[in-house]
Chain A
């Protein structure tokens, strides 16, 4: 299995631009998570999906952030408009149902820089 795939690996954009981050979870995993890592706050959960349905989006910082999961093999995290304080590493992770395993498998992350 290729693991969780994220693209792009690096993104540099100017303030005000739209940014779209992409994720392909591991096949057969029913749960998908979007995290943001910063020095100050560590790993923060932004939103997670179960069977393509958003379950908890309480971590999404503002209305500028939105996430979709149109099918079991693809999810996007969009920031519109982007701001310099959005600069961080964004991780996508997937897992099986927690009744079988709590382990989440992470992608390599997207490093976002907003200038």
Chain B
């Protein structure tokens, strides 16, 4: 049972335009969300995060939006650059649940972003 889902396997955008990557979750206990970026032959690297008490977090060209009622979050990249081409993973954690959930991240399947020059 996939608790975190990224329904778009791939996304292609033109350089300079906006990239929007989407993520849905089913577990209402999730209270912290992260986005990771992964280049080929490398491990994922942390990009940006958001707590469930917020609905938006911005860091330079990257903004994450959280809609708790819809159990949906999205990552916006503006403007997109060719160097942003990578696999993007959405991840979620249920910090407040404690127990074996403490410290654990549940990842989605990833979305391959290609930014064309």
Give the B-binding residues of A (Cβ under 8 A): 4, 31, 33, 35, 40-45, 48, 50, 55-56, 58, 91, 93, 95, 97-98, 102-109
Contact = CB atoms under 8 A, between A and B. Distances in A.
Nearest to B95: A98
Contacts of A31: 103
Interface of B: 6, 32, 34, 36, 41-46, 49, 89, 93, 95, 100, 102-110
Given A4-B43, A103-B46, A106-B44, A56 B89 contact: no
Given A50-B103, A55-B102, 16 more contacts: A35-B107, A40-B109, A43-B107, A43-B110, A45-B105, A45-B107, A48-B103, A91-B43, A97-B103, A98-B95, A98-B102, A102-B32, A102-B95, A104-B46, A104-B105, A106-B45
B44 A45 contact: no
Contacts of A40: 109
Contacts of B43: 4, 91, 93, 106-109
Given A56-B100, A98-B102, A42 B45 contact: no
Contacts, number: 65
19 contacts: A4-B43, A31-B103, A35-B107, A40-B109, A42-B107, A42-B110, A43-B107, A45-B107, A48-B104, A91-B43, A95-B103, A97-B103, A98-B95, A98-B102, A102-B49, A102-B93, A103-B49, A106-B36, A108-B41
Nearest to A4: B43
A55 B100 CA distance: 6
A42 B108 contact: yes
Interface pairs A-B: 3 shortest CB-CB: A106-B43, A42-B109, A43-B107
Nearest to A30: B103
A111 B46 CA distance: 21
A55 B98 CA distance: 12
Nearest to A111: B41
B51 to A, nearest CB: 9
A106 B107 CA distance: 13
